[in-house]
Amino acid sequence: MLSKIQAIRGMNDLLPEQSPLWQYFEGHIRSLMSRYGYQEIRTPILEQTNLFKRSIGEVTDIVEKEMYTFDDRNGESLTMRPEGTASVVRAAIESGLLHNQTQRLWYTGPMFRYERPQKGRYRQFHQVGAEIFGLDGPDIDVEAILLTARLWKQLGLTEHVTLELNSLGSNEARAAYRERLIEYFSAHMDVLDEDAKRRLHTNPLRILDSKTPEMQNMIEQAPQLLDHLDDDSRTHFETLKSLLDSAGIPYVVNPRLVRGLDYYNRTVFEWTTTALGSQGTVCAGGRYDGLVEQLGGKAVPAVGFAMGVERLVLLLDTLGLVPGDLHQQVDVYLMAFGEAAERQAMLLGESLRDALPGLRLQVHCGGGSFKSQMKKADRSGANIALILGEDELRDQKVSLKYMRESLEQQTLNESELAQLLAERFPNAR
Ligand code: ATP
Ligand code: MG
């Protein structure tokens, strides 16, 4: 026997059993984005490697060790996108979307990072993100946060997530702070782990993010960026917080929140949960005012966020927040017995679909006994089973059986049937 080919480690199939929950989540996203006036953008999965090196930063975890990079047949280095922002910025510059206009864009799709697979962390995962160009906030930063907060409310997640906020200040303030940090960490070389030593001169801010227990005390005592903000960034941050206060959105200021990508400045935020172990960040974002220029466009302020779909779906599942009727495949299941009835069932199915465009109807195919067809009808989640047998065919009727209620079976002609179904499933018309 031939050996079985398996999926790539850390890359998952989305099976039919799981797709209703994903569709439920995606449905909320789609309508929410349009309610806020955001437009969808789709970009290719493959980009030139340099796009990510220049935006995310050479000395970040993503670029140093997580990217799927390979040479194509022309010897050009390509990378499977590890995140969405860089691609959206590239596309927006390339297509002139940023010329004297604001843009509110959103996207969804798979991202790729070579990480150690575990619960909530995969090598192919999915993000939903938004990127807003041409507004320097803080009102627009708050809008982005309000949009996500509304999503949590709709999904029943509000009490399970916490908003963490920080400001990284201007690039100049951050550069000055960086020097102070290098000085401080250099005085604590004995406590630094290998990663931290390596990053000391390349990306010292990331050391603040370290999870190494022995370093925590030292990190607690480190100088804080919030104490070294430039005046404009301080005002920006204060206004942001007061806008959130007036909108009734609680938050925690976390001075250690630095984010793993180089392009952020001023506002950074994360929505976290304690229900998923160490993969607790479900949404993360911030301002990246310098990125458009850095990638060759005219300087345009920007802010955005991305959420991890797997983590959110997992969270809904873990917390039992999945609507009960989600797994119901169809409303009506149509069974038939005998060749002539099967032929008729196919036609009846089509004419019911003409009459009731919103009805979810499955016609049984492939024959079988009453018992086996009933079993399939039951498994489909249908509330109503329709039966076409020899008797019904002769009388030009259909029998209707209620699957989930103790109501009596009925026999109806086709127009009576269409009327009953229309009353029973008002959204089907
Ligand atoms: P983490 O600290 O968990 O590694 P990150 O800072 O690398 O996250 P971002 O680049 O900010 O993550 O991506 C935004 C969101 O995408 C994360 O908050 C998370 O929900 C999700 N995400 C990131 N990497 C993965 C992954 N490998 N598998 C599943 N979801 C992920
Ligand atoms: Mg990561």
Tokens of 146: 């309000």
Atom index in ligand 1 nearest the CA of residue 307 equals 15
Residue 382 and residue 403 in contact, taking contact as beta carbons nearer than 8 Å: yes
Residue 193 and residue 210 in contact, taking contact as beta carbons nearer than 8 Å: yes
| Nearest in space to 148 (alpha carbons), one of 273, 327, 314, 262 | 273
Tokens of 157: 């997640």
| Nearest in space to 314 (alpha carbons), one of 283, 284, 276, 277 | 276
Tokens of 96: 């002139």
Nearest C-alpha to atom 22 of ligand 1 is from which residue?
A: 308
Q: Which residues contact 376 (CB under 8 A, 6 or more apart)?
A: 333, 364
The helix/strand count (H/E) of the chain reads as 15, 16
Number of Cβ within 10 Å of residue 216's Cβ equals 12
Residue type, 120: G
For the chain, which domains are there? 19-169+229-318 (3.30.930.10), 332-428 (3.40.50.800)
Distance CA 19, CA 313 (A): 10
pLDDT of residue 46: 98
Atom index in ligand 1 nearest the CA of residue 113 equals 27
pLDDT of residue 61: 87
Is residue 425 in contact with ligand 1, taking CB distance under 6 Å? Answer: no
pLDDT of residue 25: 98
Nearest C-alpha to atom 8 of ligand 1 is from which residue?
A: 281
Is residue 286 in contact with ligand 1, taking CB distance under 6 Å? Answer: no
Burial of 172 (0-12, 13-18, 19+ CB in 10 A): exposed
Burial of 118 (0-12, 13-18, 19+ CB in 10 A): exposed
| Terminal Cα distance for the chain, rounded | 52
pLDDT tens-digit profile of 32-85?
A: 999 999 999 999 999 999 999 999 988 888 999 999 999 999 999 999 999 999
Number of Cβ within 10 Å of residue 112's Cβ equals 21
Is residue 63 in contact with ligand 1, taking CB distance under 6 Å? Answer: no
| Nearest in space to 75 (alpha carbons), one of 51, 48, 43 | 48
Tokens of 189: 């070389």
Per-residue pLDDT of the chain (429 residues; tens, 9 = 90+): 789 999 999 999 999 999 999 999 999 999 999 999 999 999 999 999 999 999 998 888 899 999 999 999 999 999 999 999 999 999 999 999 999 999 999 999 999 999 999 999 999 999 999 999 999 989 999 999 999 999 999 999 999 999 999 999 998 888 889 899 999 999 999 999 998 998 898 888 889 888 889 999 999 999 998 888 999 999 999 999 999 999 999 999 998 898 767 788 999 999 999 999 888 999 999 999 999 999 999 999 999 999 999 999 999 999 999 998 888 899 999 999 999 999 999 999 999 999 999 999 999 999 999 999 999 999 999 999 999 999 999 999 999 999 999 999 999 999 999 999 999 999 888
Residue 106 and residue 33 in contact, taking contact as beta carbons nearer than 8 Å: yes
Distance CA 296, CA 307 (A): 27
Distance CA 257, CA 209 (A): 7
pLDDT of residue 245: 98
Q: How far is the CA of 288 from the centre of ligand 1 (A)?
A: 18
| Nearest in space to 270 (alpha carbons), one of 281, 255, 258 | 281
Whose tokens are 């960490």? That residue is 185
Is residue 112 in contact with ligand 1, taking CB distance under 6 Å? Answer: no
Assign 352 to helix, strand or coil: helix
CB crowding 350-374: b at 16 or more within 10 Å, else e: eebeebbeebbbbbbeeeeeeeebb
Q: How far is the CA of 156 from the centre of ligand 2 (A)?
A: 26
Atom index in ligand 1 nearest the CA of residue 62 equals 7
